[in-house]
């Protein structure tokens, strides 16, 4: 089945130690998104890639970076995690064209714990 895969499902890191979260997709979608979701809140968009074009949200801290080496993979890098970065990180994909953007499909998420 076509899907969005996130690895690992659970990640523990130390305060200030860089961490990378991974997302891959078999849907061949051209748009990939990273969201941060804290407890009992709606997901908050951090940034997205439209093909190779990177689009950062205005309020995303510089501590968060992303890479998309090819259509299928996208990475979230947290350069110096703080205690406030502990959250669920969700990857999503969609197909976009000149007519607009189709439904977003989400992965299962990576739960990040910062010690």
Partner 1 sequence: GNSVTQMEGPVTLSEEAFLTINCTYTATGYPSLFWYVQYPGEGLQLLLKATKADDKGSNKGFEATYRKETTSFHLEKGSVQVSDSAVYFCALTQGAQKLVFGQGTRLTINP
Closest approach, Cβ 10 to partner 1, in A, equals 9
List contacts with partner 1 (CB under 8 A): 4, 6, 31, 33, 40-43, 45, 48, 50, 55, 90, 92, 94, 96, 100-101, 103-109, 111
Cα distances (angstroms) measured from residue 53 to each of 24, 38, 66, 73, 110: 17, 27, 11, 14, 24
Our CB check for partner 1 shows the closer of 15 and 72 to be: 72
Our CB check for partner 1 shows the closer of 20 and 55 to be: 55
C-alpha 86/C-alpha 32 separation (Å) is 22
Q: State whether residue 14 is helix, strand or coil.
A: coil
Closest approach, Cβ 48 to partner 1, in A, equals 6
Closest approach, Cβ 106 to partner 1, in A, equals 4
């Amino acid at each position: 089945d076509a899907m969005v895969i996130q690895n690992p499902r659970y990640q523990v890191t130390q305060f200030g130690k860089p961490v990378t979260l991974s997302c891959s997709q078999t849907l061949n979608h051209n748009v990939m998104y990273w969201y941060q979701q804290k407890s009992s809140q709606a997901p908050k968009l951090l940034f997205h890639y439209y093909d190779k074009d990177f689009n950062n949200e205005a309020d995303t801290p510089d501590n968060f970076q992303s890479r998309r080496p090819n259509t299928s993979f996208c990475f979230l890098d947290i350069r110096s995690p703080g205690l406030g970065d502990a959250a669920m990180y969700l990857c999503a994909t969609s197909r976009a064209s000149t007519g607009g953007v189709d439904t977003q499909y989400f992965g299962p998420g990576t739960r990040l714990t910062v010690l």
